[in-house]
Amino acid sequence: MASIHPTALVDPQAQLGDMVSVGPYTVIGPHVRIDEGTTVGPHCVIEGHTTLGRDNRIFQFASLGGSPQDKKYADEPTQLVIGDRNTIREFSTFNVGTAQDEGITRLGHDNWMMAYTHLAHDCQVGNHTIFANNAHIAGHVHVGDWVILGGFTCVHQFVKIGAHAMTSMATALGQDLPPFVMAQGNMAEVRGVNLEGLRRRGFSPERLKAVKEMHRALYRQDLTLEEAKGRIAELADTHPEVKQDVDLMINFLMASTRGIVR
């Protein structure tokens, strides 16, 4: 059975799994589903067509499933879908999607979302990410697995951030940030490769070397983007063990629509 504080307002149509805990003065709407083991703190609002998976921890004053900050939104039944084992800290705001995209804002599994983080409509965030305090992403942004956004990072709408990328504090990101790359500044400039993060995730010396080679091709060898893609693709031919990392980079570059930080 769910544990609901007497002062919480939970709509009778909301679906709450076993061992869900709802704190004082929290409001949960009729189209919300919360799976077992999730804890919702006091003074939260969870509304809209919102689904939360298992074992999430939602801290006080979070607002999840609110309408998009988009003038085109006309109360369509769009969704916010949150996976399992996420930590969502105070005053975070996550909006549902819009009919102009696929209609779903997604947050994957095992993410760490610090205070005041914002997920706008139609964002797609992967797994194991960290958004530091006041990191904000605008509508339609795609964020890969293991990304770290420094505090006060602001990301322009439609930007893509590749897996294992990282930004420093107060970065303004207006173009796509390739996998493995670290960026800093307003506007963002590339500062290197997230080697320490990759080591912590068990990347072998061969894979780390390939990541460095990809970075050199993109940023250090005065190549055009097309030339850099060709140089990167060659790495998989000579070192098959790094094919997954090369494919990740090539696929990202091919899918880029706003141009990359370069």
Active site amino acids: 121-122, 139
Label each residue of the chain as H, E or C: CCEECCCCEECCCCEECCCCEECCCCEECCCCEECCCCEECCCCEECCEEEECCCCEECCCCEEEECCCCCCCCCCCCEEEECCCCEECCCCEEECCCCCCCCEEEECCCCEECCCCEECCCCEECCCCEECCCCEECCCCEECCCCEECCCCEECCCCEECCCCEECCCCEECCEECCCEEEECCCCEEEEECHHHHHHCCCCHHHHHHHHHHHHHHHCCCCCHHHHHHHHHHHHHHCHHHHHHHHHHHHHHHHCCCCECC
